[in-house]
């Protein structure tokens, strides 16, 4: 029980450090730009880090149990190798996670892995073919943008890091999704839209989350026009 608690504390500390690292990297890259980074690897990396820390602690316990025995000496040597390797892997994963994200701006969506390798626009060119807003019977909400090359980008849920100007202008991905919908509808290009589960949205969000519902309602109402 104590071992699990120690590993959980270590993982929590790792998550905080990773989050701070993400914010530092994203802030330094975005500067005063109105932008948001969706970080798809963050939760996966934290899960893997938990497993690595469990492994280190397990070997540490074996070393204590076998202390003084020949097997214990071998395990101690193994611990001295495995501990820094696991910590190093966790740190590398954190850096990779912080530098792998989807960048959202007022007029574009980009894919970044240390450097931008894909960029999509709905003003300068016709890269977007469809956006989909859906809510299932459990209240799970998704807003997906489908690109001409088949790339599907999910804007809601998960971990994100926002610049100060993005926070001031939108505050959250729901407001940005409403902005994006307006941009798509006013684009000179034809962008298909699919909205399903309107009743579920109203059921789960109207009273419980009025701020989110306000953005959803604007998307739904405009669709009916």
In order, the DSSP letters of 4-26 are HHHHHHHHHHHHHHHHHHHHHHH
pLDDT given for residue 178 in this prediction: 93
The pLDDT value given to residue 149: 92
Burial zone of 116 (CB within 10 Å; 0-12 exposed, 13-18 middle, 19+ buried): exposed
pLDDT at 148: 92
Ranges of residues in the chain with a pLDDT under 50 are none
pLDDT at 153: 93
Residue 74 is predicted with a pLDDT of 74
**Residue ranges per structural domain of the chain:** 2-100, 117-224
Q: How far apart are CA 192 and CA 186, in angstroms?
A: 12
């Amino acid at each position: 029980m104590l071992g699990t608690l120690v590993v959980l504390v270590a993982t929590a500390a790792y998550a905080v450090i990773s989050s701070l690292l993400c914010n530092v990297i994203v802030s330094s890259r975005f500067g005063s730009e109105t932008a948001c980074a969706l970080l798809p690897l963050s939760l996966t990396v934290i899960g893997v880090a938990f497993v690595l820390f469990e492994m280190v602690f397990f070997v540490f316990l074996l070393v204590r149990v076998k202390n003084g025995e020949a097997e214990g000496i071998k395990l101690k040597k193994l611990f001295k190798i495995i501990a820094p390797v696991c910590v190093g892997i966790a740190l590398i994963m954190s850096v990779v996670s912080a530098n792998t994200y989807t960048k959202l701006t007022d007029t574009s969506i980009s894919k970044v892995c240390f450097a931008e390798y894909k960029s999509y626009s709905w003003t300068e060119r016709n890269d977007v073919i469809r956006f989909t807003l859906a809510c299932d019977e459990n209240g799970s909400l998704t807003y997906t943008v489908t690109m001409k090359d088949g790339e599907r980008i999910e804007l809601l849920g998960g971990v994100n890091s926002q610049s100060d100007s993005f926070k001031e202008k939108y505050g959250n991905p729901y407001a940005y999704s409403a902005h994006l919908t307006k941009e798509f509808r006013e684009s000179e290009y034809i962008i298909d839209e699919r909205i399903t589960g309107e009743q579920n949205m109203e059921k789960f969000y109207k009273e419980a989350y009025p701020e989110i519902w306000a953005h959803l309602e604007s998307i739904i109402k405009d669709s009916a026009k």
